[in-house]
């Protein structure tokens, strides 16, 4: 049993988990606490994202999935939605070349239908330009909701059944998973959520079945390499049994 009272080391002494996913929460509260507009919180959130991509690469993370805009975020005031769309545009325009030169491969998950054509183009351009890179994979969950992703998968699978290409009795969890947005990627080992909220909020519900969840109390704009290392250290304290009896720690 890991000793829960032992201090969390400041540097992760173990190999990084292969797939880390992050719910970047708390931009608005970070800004409110400083008397700043929410837009400033999001802007500083992008800076935290840059730091985190760099740190994840340095620590040897293989895949970093970020929840950058949820299917439900459309219900925010139009000005804030515009702001978030603007930040994504700027992030891709300003950072894509650097991501590419750092051998980062960008993938996008989420519903593409209904996105503004220029946003769609930028996302596709990012995927296309970096397609052959084999460093860190940055998976951007954009216009993403897990229930919507599962519904999309079921719809595709139903078409296969109707076309006679799939026997209804062959519908297993694995068969369904093949129709998810990124079926070739392994499930996240570690999901981190900032700002102290302890829920998944429609993020990777299918893929999170055996993920370790780590909730950190700081708001996203304050996230940095040290916090990532602490979350990884916490991950290594966990025993992963995947429903079996034998512990498979991340170490």
Q: Which residues lie near ligand FPP (CB under 6 A)?
A: 24-29, 42, 45-46, 49, 68-69, 73, 84, 87-88, 91, 220
Nearer to ligand FPP by C-beta: 88 or 104? Answer: 88
The structure tokens listed for 144 are 């993403």
Nearer to ligand FPP by C-beta: 26 or 188? Answer: 26
> Alpha helix locations (H) across the chain?
27-32, 38-59, 78-101, 117-129, 146-162, 173-177, 225-237
| Catalytic residue of the set 3, 27, 73, 133 | 73
Nearer to ligand FPP by C-beta: 69 or 203? Answer: 69
Nearer to ligand FPP by C-beta: 140 or 233? Answer: 140
Task: State the Cα angle at 61 between 174 and 203, rounded to 5°.
Answer: 50
- DSSP structure class, residue 16: P
The CB-of-10 to ligand FPP minimum distance in angstroms stands at 24
The CB-of-26 to ligand FPP minimum distance in angstroms stands at 4
The CB-of-208 to ligand FPP minimum distance in angstroms stands at 18
| Residue 73 annotated to the active site | yes
**What's the CA gap between 140 and 38, in Å, rounded?**
21
Task: Find, among 181, 141, 107, 148, the residue nearest to 22 by Cα.
Answer: 141
| Residue 174 annotated to the active site | no
| Catalytic residue of the set 3, 25, 95, 189 | 25
**Within a 10 A sphere around the Cβ of 63, how many other Cβ atoms?**
21
As annotated, the active-site residues are: 25, 73
């Amino acid at each position: 049993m890991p000793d829960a009272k032992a201090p969390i080391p400041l540097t992760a002494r173990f190999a990084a988990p292969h797939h880390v996913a992050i719910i970047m929460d708390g931009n608005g509260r970070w800004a409110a606490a400083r008397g700043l507009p929410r837009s400033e919180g999001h802007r500083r959130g992008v800076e935290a994202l840059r730091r985190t991509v760099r740190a994840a690469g340095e620590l040897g993370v293989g895949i970093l999935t970020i929840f950058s805009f949820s299917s439900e975020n459309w219900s925010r005031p139009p000005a804030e939605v515009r702001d978030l769309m603007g930040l994504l545009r700027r992030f891709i325009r300003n950072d894509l070349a650097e991501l590419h030169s750092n051998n980062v491969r960008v993938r996008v998950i989420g519903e593409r239908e209904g996105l503004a054509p220029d946003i769609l183009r930028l996302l596709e351009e990012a995927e296309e330009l970096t397609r052959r890179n084999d460093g860190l994979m940055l998976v951007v969950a954009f216009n993403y909701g897990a229930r919507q992703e599962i519904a999309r998968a079921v719809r595709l699978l139903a078409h296969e059944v109707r076309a006679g290409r799939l026997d209804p009795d062959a519908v297993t969890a694995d068969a369904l998973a093949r129709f998810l947005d990124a079926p070739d990627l392994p499930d996240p080992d570690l999901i981190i959520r900032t700002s102290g909220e302890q829920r998944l909020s429609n993020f990777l519900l299918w893929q999170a079945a055996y993920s370790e969840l780590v909730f950190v109390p700081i708001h996203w704009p304050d996230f940095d390499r040290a916090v990532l290392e602490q979350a990884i250290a916490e991950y290594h304290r966990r025993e992963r049994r995947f429903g079996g009896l034998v512990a498979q720690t991340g170490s």
